[in-house]
Structure 1
Amino acid sequence: MPNYRRLYVPGGTYFFTIVTYQRQPIFNNPDNISLLRKAVATVKSEMPLKILGAVILPEHLHFIWQLPPGDSAYSKRIGKMKVLFTQSLPEKEKSQQENSISRLKHRESNIWQRRFWEHTIRDEEDLENYLNYIHYNPVKHNLVSCPHLWQYSSFHSWVKNKRLDRNLGCVCNEK
Structure 2
Amino acid sequence: MSAYIRPCTPNTPVFFTVCLAERGSTLLIDALDVLRAAVAHVKSYRPFDILAFVVLPDHLHAVLRFPEDDPNYSQRWGSIKAQFSRDVRRAGLVPPWPVADAEAQRGLFRKGEAGLWQKRFREHHCGDEAEVEAQVRYCWADPVKHGLVQRATDWEASSIHREVRLGRVQPDWSAAFLNGNLGEAA
TM-score class, shorter-chain normalisation, is 0.7 to 0.9
Question: Mapping of 1:106-125 within 5 angstroms?
Answer: 107=109, 108-125=113-130
Larger deviation, residues 104-113 vs 9-18: 104-113
Partner residue, 1:20: 20
Question: Which residue number corresponds to residue 139 of structure 1?
Answer: 144
> Residues 81, 13 of structure 1: CA spacing in aligned structure 2 closer, same or farther, 3 A cutoff?
same
Deviates more, 1:136-145 or 1:17-26: 17-26
- Return the alpha-carbon distance in structure 2 between the equivalents of residues 97 and 84 of structure 1: 15
Q: Partners in 2 of 1:153 and 1:96 — Cα distance?
A: 29
Taking structure 1 as the reference length, what is the TM-score of the superposition? 0.85
Q: Which SS does the other structure have where 1:113 is aligned?
A: coil
Counterpart Cα distance in 2 of 1:75 and 1:46: 15
Using the alignment, how far apart are the partners of 2:38 and 2:120 within structure 1?
18
Aligned length: 167
Distance 2:34 2:29 in 1: 13
User: In percent, how many aligned pairs have the same letter?
Assistant: 34
- 2:46–2:76 Cα contact (<8 Å) kept: yes
Aligned-partner residue type, residue 9 of structure 2: V
C-alpha deviation, 1:60, in angstroms: 0.4
Shift of 1:70: 2.5
**Is the contact between residue 29 and residue 55 of structure 2 (CA under 8 Å) also seen in structure 1?**
no
CA RMSD of aligned residues (A): 2.4
Q: Which residue of 1 aligns with 2:181?
A: none
Matches within 5 A, 1:5-84: 5-23=5-23, 24-29=25-30, 32-84=31-83
Q: C-alpha distance in 1, partners of 2:3/2:55?
A: 29
Q: In the alignment, what sits opposite 2:179?
A: none
Tell me the distance in 1 between the aligned counterparts of 2:93 and 2:116. Answer: 9
Measure, in 1, the Cα distance between the counterparts of 2:108 and 2:53: 29
TM-score (norm 2): 0.81
2:9, 2:71 within 8 Å by CA — same for their partners in 1? yes
Unaligned runs of 5+ residues in structure 1 are: none
3-state SS of paired residue (1:51): strand
> Residue 69 of structure 2: SS of its match in structure 1?
coil
Alpha-carbon distance in 2 for matches of 1:89, 1:74: 22
Q: Which residue of 2 aligns with 1:94?
A: 94
Whether the 8 Å contact between 1:139 and 1:145 is mirrored in structure 2 is yes
Q: Check whether the contact 1:94–1:110 (CA below 8 A) recurs between aligned residues.
A: no
Unaligned runs of 5+ in 2: 177-186
Structure 2 CA distance for aligned equivalents of residues 165 and 84 of structure 1: 34
